[in-house]
């Protein structure tokens, strides 16, 4: 497969086994099941000289990082909801990534969709060169403990918990930044890793649910459906997506995918492509090879190939948003 290609059919390669060594030195293997890769839970080193330029505030009682175009509100803007990986609101790399979209004319809202509960151990990525065997044992024990904590965290971060937080932010943003919403004809969204699944869910017409997950019903109409909540979305290396998440999708979506990515199962991706095509939902899938899961978020890499792919993925997502 070429470095990257628009996916119109399933990749020729078969899905890998339970775990597979990463192509990227120092990267952990992607794992099946309710787990996340290293690049979902830690930030790569922030590129030299880069730093966030936005501000912290609240929308609907939810803490948010807001990044605005330099000429806003004197020039028209569009509202973009940025949904991050498990590293959450205070990830400097996510904030810098949000700033990139702001430079292109988007008013970007990065909400704390985890309610001050980011993934355990979320911090800057550190790679230790040639550790001693004692240090290797310590790291294995630490990884086991961290994996358990991450699984517990994932059990807490359900759509029933996260989506109501996002709905609060969306409703407040419609009032606070009504001009940007009106100028864009709705709200746009980009989602990375965990946030990718949330962007997919916001793009659909779904049964309305209350806090404990029971469907809201109307005596005459039956199950009440709401959505979509976004005009269009772009998703990079989504995680924990199930086939049912594609049901009801209405908004145009672009997907940045990683070849042989255990965190976005090939069978699920193929189902999603088929579903969107059969239901006439505008979509695009592009697969990148030789890159780690999570490569699309700002972060320093020694491998020039990954840097090039990172820039290409951003341009693809940006072009999709501008086209819609």
Report the pLDDT value the prediction gives residue 219, as an integer from 0 to 100.
55
Cut 0.85: pTM above it: no
Report the pLDDT value the prediction gives residue 18, as an integer from 0 to 100.
38
pLDDT category at 113 given cuts 50, 70, 90 is very high
Residue 5 has pLDDT above 60, yes or no: no
Residue 170 has pLDDT above 60, yes or no: yes
Digit-coded pLDDT (tens) for 223-234: 788 999 999 999
Residue 269 lies inside a defined structural domain of this protein: yes
Q: How far apart are CA 93 and CA 105, in angstroms?
A: 19
Q: How far apart are CA 132 and CA 259, in angstroms?
A: 32
Digit-coded pLDDT (tens) for 233-281: 999 999 999 999 999 999 999 999 999 998 899 999 999 999 999 999 9
Residue 206 lies inside a defined structural domain of this protein: yes
The domain total for the chain is: 1
Residue 20 lies inside a defined structural domain of this protein: no
Residue 66 lies inside a defined structural domain of this protein: yes
Residue 19 lies inside a defined structural domain of this protein: no
Domain extent at residue 50: 38-125+132-213+223-323
Residue 15 lies inside a defined structural domain of this protein: no
Digit-coded pLDDT (tens) for 18-67: 333 433 333 433 333 334 555 566 677 677 677 889 999 999 999 999 99
| Percent of the chain residues past pLDDT 70, beyond the cut | 73
Residue 171 lies inside a defined structural domain of this protein: yes
Neighbouring residues of 208: CB distance < 8 A, sequence distance ≥ 6: 215, 216, 223, 224, 225, 226
Q: How far apart are CA 118 and CA 97, in angstroms?
A: 18
Cβ–Cβ < 8 Å for 72, 179 = no
Residue 7 lies inside a defined structural domain of this protein: no
Surface-to-core class of residue 256, CB atoms within 10 Å of its CB (0-12 exposed, 13-18 middle, 19+ buried): buried
Q: What is the CATH number of the domain that holds 167?
A: 3.40.50.1820
């Amino acid at each position: 497969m070429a470095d990257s290609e628009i996916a119109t059919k399933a990749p020729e390669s078969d899905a890998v086994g339970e775990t597979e060594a990463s192509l990227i030195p120092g990267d952990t293997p992607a794992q099946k099941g309710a787990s996340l890769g290293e690049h979902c839970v830690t930030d790569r080193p922030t590129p030299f000289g880069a730093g966030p330029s936005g501000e912290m505030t609240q929308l609907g009682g939810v803490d948010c990082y807001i990044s605005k175009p330099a000429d806003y509100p004197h020039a028209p803007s569009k509202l973009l909801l940025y949904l991050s990986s498990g590293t959450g609101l205070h990830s400097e790399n996510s904030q810098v990534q949000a700033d990139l979209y702001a430079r292109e004319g988007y008013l970007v809202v990065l909400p704390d969709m985890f309610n001050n509960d980011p993934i355990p151990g979320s911090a800057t990525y550190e790679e230790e060169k040639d550790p001693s065997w004692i240090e290797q044992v310590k790291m294995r024990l630490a990884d086991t403990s961290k994996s358990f904590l991450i699984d517990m965290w994932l059990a807490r971060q359900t759509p029933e918990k996260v989506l109501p937080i996002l709905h609060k932010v969306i409703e407040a943003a419609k009032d606070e930044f009504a001009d940007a919403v009106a100028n864009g004809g709705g709200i746009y969204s980009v989602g990375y890793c965990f946030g990718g699944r949330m962007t997919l869910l916001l793009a659909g017409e779904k049964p309305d649910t209350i806090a404990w997950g029971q469907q809201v019903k109307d005596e005459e109409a039956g199950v009440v459906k709401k959505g979509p909540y976004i005009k269009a979305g772009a998703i990079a290396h989504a995680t924990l997506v199930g086939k049912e998440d594609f049901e009801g999708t209405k908004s145009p979506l672009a997907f940045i995918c990683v070849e042989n990515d255990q965190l976005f199962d090939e069978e699920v991706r193929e189902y999603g492509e088929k579903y969107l095509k059969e239901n006439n939902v505008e979509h695009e899938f592009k697969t990148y090879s030789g890159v780690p899961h999570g490569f699309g978020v700002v972060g320093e890499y020694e491998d020039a190939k990954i840097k090039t792919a990172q820039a290409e993925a951003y341009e693809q997502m940006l072009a999709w948003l501008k086209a819609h």
